[in-house]
């Protein structure tokens, strides 16, 4: 194997110099995240670069990852939790007074909040907040300037989430007692919900996304799974409950996870000024954007000409002329541009990781693997630069499991490839983006066919000559951590090393220790796919599929990584596993970070973790460039 430059862990996992840029509604300023005291914070500068950039948040404890401009150029909002506990608060920044500290607009202990701006009601936002009870979020209207919160709707006991029209009309997403999905509108005069539509929960809970209110408030744009092979876009009429088709792609689904985190682009591209639908994102091996508005089609053509990557985060001013866009790319991550459609001017604003040479990074290749029972497993393979024969392989398993791997830059993938490992990412059954039939093929298949798919991926990589069968590791976070533990308990002969990152060891304990607000809404995901731990027969099956009950099978070197404040997969999931192994005299490496939750965020912790990963795999797998 050809040698290549050794990339330090810090080069891949240090904070980006800038990232997640957006343009202000008036088109005069750009905001972005950049380091301040080694934590990402929000910075603002003029579009023309005429003023010195200034940091407008000042969190030296934990990186800020989610912010939004408001319609008033004075105010910006962002959310922050404490040490990864996911108790999000809403903060306001005064852009006219750089010295003023951020104001917590939801200063109530132990709460969780989320918000939506209301463009039709200037200066207002809809806030969902668990102030009254930790089990249920009520809906409030927030006056951004004064901070006043006005109760709009008290949760009647079943609403899992509120969302709003541009003018503040409220809608609710609920689960019925039968486990079906109910969409409702809130009738303020009656102080009650009116049902719009009910969907079979098994078909819709995992992918009735996106849910966006049309600009006139008379309809909802929804992801529909009437076609089991792909998710399409429909409009639900608020008055009649009738569905009409809006758009579909002949082969691909709407990007299933788009917009669920700040780093993931929205599946629907909307006009900043009017909220009208401009385009729809679909996701196959790579992204396809279908424009629905002829004016935006012209903009899109010019934007896509800026890079050979896929369009990532998109923002525009109210005129629709000034745009700030970033690109998804496997070797040139997050390159961000400014584009003025009126003048045709474009310029590169920044590269988040300018110290990385794209030629030193490994390309990510889409591949399709056939499962043993005939399913197409759409996957991604990254080979070390210069690889000419079988390499040690890291099977990198995504979380969720209702998520999917996709094409783009991943620092963990690049670290592994740089160290001489081939990296395989398998979209096993249960992964989203390939139709509801593919998702539902995972029902009852935890530690069963879902795991078979991963093993089939390993066998494919060996048979194709990419991987050395005797040097295969499994590494994953959350569900991927569970998969890693299943790997070393159910198929211990396959793997020479394993890394469990915030993974589940006991399915029953995991469900019982989820946050209170999450537990009432498990019917059509965890309970449907795995079981209800309150049913003794189902609990027994869940324990049979749990690594904690099979620790006597573990003989593979294991690294366990956990955040102490994890509210999804609590620390006990890792503690219990490590204790059981150490009681048997098995040496297991264990890293716990006291200021992290479900996945590490702070750069020093992330770097610490991947240094451990690098060393651990070098010791037990022996990459060609370790």
Find the catalytic residue in 169, 598, 614, 620. 598
Query: Known catalytic residue: 566?
Result: yes
SS3 content of the chain, % helix, strand, coil (to 5): 20, 35, 45
Q: How many CB atoms lie within 10 A of CB 8?
A: 15
Rounded (10°) CA dihedral 550, 553, 556, 559: 20
> How far is CA 520 from its chain centroid?
22
Structure tokens at 616: 């651990």
- CA-to-CA dists, residue 62 to 37, 40, 411, 452, angstroms: 10, 8, 20, 39
What phi and psi, each to the nearest 5 degrees, are found at residue 151? Answer: -65, 125
Sign of dihedral through CA atoms 445, 447, 449, 454? positive
Phi/psi at 452 (nearest 5 deg)?
-55, -40
Q: How many CB atoms lie within 10 A of CB 535?
A: 12
User: Is the bond preceding 221 in cis, omega lying within 30 degrees of 0?
Assistant: no
* Coil, strand or helix at 98: coil
Question: In what order do the strands lie in the sheet containing 467-477?
Answer: 364-370, 376-382, 422-426, 391-397, 467-477, 497-501, 558-563, 589-593
What angle do helix axes 479-490 and 449-463 make, rounded to 10 degrees?
80
| 597 secondary structure, DSSP code | B
Cα gap 325→303, rounded to integer Å: 8
Residues near 262 by beta carbon (within 8 Å), at least 6 away in sequence: 20, 65, 66
Helix (H, G, I), strand (E, B) or coil at 175: strand
Pairing between β-strand 346-350 and β-strand 336-340 as defined by DSSP bridges: antiparallel
CB atoms within 10 A of CB 382: 23
Q: Which of 478, 505, 506, 546 is catalytic?
A: 478
DSSP state of 166: T
Neighbouring C-beta atoms of residue 276, cutoff 10 Å: 13
Run of H or E including 152:
strand 149-153
Residues 603, 582: Cα–Cα separation, whole Å: 30
Candidates 138, 468, 566, 614; catalytic one: 566
Give the position of tokens 């091996």. Answer: 285
CA distance 270 to 195: 26
Burial of 109 (0-12, 13-18, 19+ CB in 10 A): exposed
Distance CA 549, CA 84 (A): 29
- Nearest CA-CA partner of 184 in 204, 161, 150: 161
Residues identified as active-site: 478, 566, 598
């Amino acid at each position: 194997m050809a040698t290549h430059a050794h990339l330090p862990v810090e080069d891949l996992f240090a904070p980006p110099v800038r990232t997640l840029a957006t343009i202000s509604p008036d088109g005069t300023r750009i905001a972005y995240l950049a380091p301040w005291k080694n934590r990402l914070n929000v910075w603002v500068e003029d579009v023309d670069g005429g003023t010195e950039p200034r940091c407008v948040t000042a969190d030296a404890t934990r990186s800020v990852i989610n912010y939004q401009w408001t319609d008033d150029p004075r105010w910006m909002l962002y959310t922050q939790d404490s040490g990864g506990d996911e108790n999000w608060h809403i903060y306001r920044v005064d852009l006219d007074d750089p010295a003023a500290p951020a104001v917590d607009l939801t200063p109530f202990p132990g709460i969780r909040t989320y918000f939506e701006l209301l463009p039709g009601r200037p200066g207002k936002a809809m806030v969902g907040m668990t102030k009254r009870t930790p089990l249920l979020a009520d809906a409030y209207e927030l006056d951004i300037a004064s901070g006043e919160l006005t109760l709009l709707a008290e949760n009647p006991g079943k609403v899992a989430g509120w969302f709003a029209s541009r003018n503040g009309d409220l809608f609710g997403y609920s689960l019925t007692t039968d486990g079906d999905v109910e969409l409702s509108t809130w009738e303020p005069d009656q102080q009650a919900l009116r049902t719009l539509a009910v969907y079979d929960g098994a078909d819709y809970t995992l992918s009735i996304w996106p849910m966006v209110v049309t600009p006139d408030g008379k309809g909802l744009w929804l992801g529909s799974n009437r076609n089991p092979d792909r998710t399409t876009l429909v409009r639900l009429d608020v008055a009649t409950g009738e569905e009409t088709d809006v758009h579909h792609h002949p082969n691909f689904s709407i990007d299933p996870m788009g917009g669920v985190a700040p780093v993931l682009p929205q599946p629907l591209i909307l006009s900043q000024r009017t909220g009208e639908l401009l385009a729809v994102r679909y996701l196959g091996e790579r992204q396809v954007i279908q424009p629905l508005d002829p004016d935006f089609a012209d903009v899109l053509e010019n934007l896509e000409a800026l890079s050979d990557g896929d369009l990532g985060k998109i923002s525009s001013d109210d005129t629709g002329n000034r745009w700030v866009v970033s690109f998804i790319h496997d070797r040139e991550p997050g390159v961000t541009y400014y584009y003025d459609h009126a003048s045709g001017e474009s310029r590169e604003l920044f590269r988040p990781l300018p110290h990385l040479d794209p030629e030193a990074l490994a390309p990510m290749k889409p591949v399709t693997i056939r499962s043993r029972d005939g399913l197409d497993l759409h996957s991604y393979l990254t080979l070390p630069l210069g690889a000419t024969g079988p390499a040690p392989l890291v099977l990198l398993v995504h979380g969720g499991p209702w998520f999917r791997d996709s094409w783009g830059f991943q620092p963990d993938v690049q670290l592994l490839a740089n160290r001489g490992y081939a990296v395989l990412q398998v979209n096993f059954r249960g992964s989203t983006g390939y139709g509801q039939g593919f998702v539902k093929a995972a029902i009852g298949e935890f530690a069963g066919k879902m795991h078979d798919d991963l093993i089939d991926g390993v066998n494919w990589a060996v048979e194709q000559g990419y991987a050395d069968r005797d040097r295969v590791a499994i590494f994953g976070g959350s569900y991927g951590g569970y998969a890693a533990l299943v790997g070393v308990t159910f198929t211990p002969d396959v793997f020479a090393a394993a890394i469990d990152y915030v993974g589940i060891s006991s399915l029953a304990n995991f469900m019982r220790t989820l946050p209170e607000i999450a537990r009432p809404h498990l019917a059509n995901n965890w309970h449907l796919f795995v079981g209800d731990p309150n049913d003794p027969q189902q609990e027994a099956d869940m324990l049979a599929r749990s690594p904690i009950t099979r620790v006597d099978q573990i003989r593979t070197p294991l690294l366990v990584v956990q955040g102490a404040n994890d509210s999804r997969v609590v620390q006990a999931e890792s503690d219990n596993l490590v204790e059981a192994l150490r009681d048997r005299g098995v040496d297991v490496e264990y890293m716990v970070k006291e200021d992290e939750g479900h996945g590490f965020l702070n750069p020093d912790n992330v770097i610490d973790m991947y240094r451990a990963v690098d060393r651990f795999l070098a010791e037990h797998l022996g990459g060609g460039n370790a």
